[in-house]
Amino acid sequence: MRRKLLVLTVALMLAAMMSVTAGAAWGQVVCDPDDVEDCLSTSTKDECKDGGWKNFTTGGGGHQHHHIFKNQGDCVSFFATGGKNLPAG
């Protein structure tokens, strides 16, 4: 019985996580172009590492997405300064 409950709990958690990223690739953060700073307020500089900076995009028309940051350093700088160094992407 505990195993079934655990499996159900994990399945529900995964479903909830997937609904948050609906329409975007796993781990991708898609921001409204007019509200980038607020959209990024829950992210951290650690998410910029290992190519993670590419996951931060703005939604364009259709399925077009544009990178918010031009590289990892731009991403880390934004979070390290609390958003004072604006993204250059």
Q: Residues 13-53: pLDDT tens digits?
A: 544 444 343 444 557 788 887 888 788 888 889 999 999 99
When divided into structural domains, the chain yields a total of 1
Determine, yes or no, domain membership for 12.
no
pTM exceeds 0.95, yes or no:
no
What is the CB-side half-sphere exposure of residue 69 using CA atoms within 13 A? Answer: 24
Which residue range forms the structural domain that includes residue 53?
25-89
The closest alpha carbon to 57, from 27, 84, 20, belongs to 27
Residue 9, pLDDT above cutoff 90: no
What share of the chain has pLDDT > 90, as a percent?
19
